[in-house]
């Protein structure tokens, strides 16, 4: 069984989400109750890349271009501020919405743990230092599993899985020769 992060990785790879910076596809409308953390053009500097193991190498979020350091950063979803402070050497804000945690960094907090925030509410100010050009890192976890934030921000089209032996046009071709049918 594929975990949500693995499904998101498969969808990202299948849909051509490569490692280069590129404007997002036309589907950039955020899901109901979600907003982009910074204003401006929707540009992914670095995409989500699920690690092969829980502690393996990967990129557990997306880096989104910003117009500059000092811009307002908004809560991507409504919830309660779970954490607002420094992790290692970087200021971080995490908003909890049920089992979902949405984290932005490097962001100087204007909120404190326990504050209730609404999607789109200014929660901090972007600081320099995460990317070569100004960007905000957005990470999302559901029940502890990292998933691509673009699933909610509209930058990833949903993958469509077809039954084996069915072409994209719907015609049955029979099982591929390398697959055993039980």
Q: In this structure, what DSSP letter does residue 166 have? A: B
Give the pTM: 0.72
Residues 49-78 pLDDT 10s: 888 888 889 899 999 999 999 999 999 999
Strands (E), 106-157: 107-109, 116-117, 122-126, 135-142, 145-147
Residues 5-20 pLDDT 10s: 433 333 333 333 333 3
Task: Indicate the pairing of strand 90-97 with strand 79-87.
Answer: antiparallel
């Amino acid at each position: 069984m594929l975990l949500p992060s693995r499904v998101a990785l498969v969808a990202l790879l299948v849909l051509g989400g490569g490692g280069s910076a590129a404007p997002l596809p036309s589907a950039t409308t955020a899901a109901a109750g979600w907003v982009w953390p910074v204003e401006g053009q929707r540009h992914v500097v670095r995409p989500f890349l699920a690690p092969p193991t829980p502690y393996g190498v990967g990129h557990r979020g997306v880096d989104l271009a910003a117009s500059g350091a000092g811009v307002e950063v908004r809560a991507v979803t409504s919830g309660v501020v779970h954490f607002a402070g420094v992790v290692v050497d970087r200021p971080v804000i995490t908003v909890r919405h049920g089992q979902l945690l949405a984290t932005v960094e490097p962001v100087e907090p204007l909120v404190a743990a326990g504050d209730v925030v609404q999607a789109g509410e200014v929660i901090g100010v972007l600081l320099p230092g995460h990317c070569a050009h100004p960007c905000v890192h957005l990470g999302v976890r559901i029940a502890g599993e990292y998933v691509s934030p673009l699933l909610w921000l509209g930058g990833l089209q949903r993958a469509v899985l077809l039954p084996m032996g069915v072409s994209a046009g719907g015609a049955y071709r029979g099982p591929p020769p390398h697959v055993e049918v039980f």
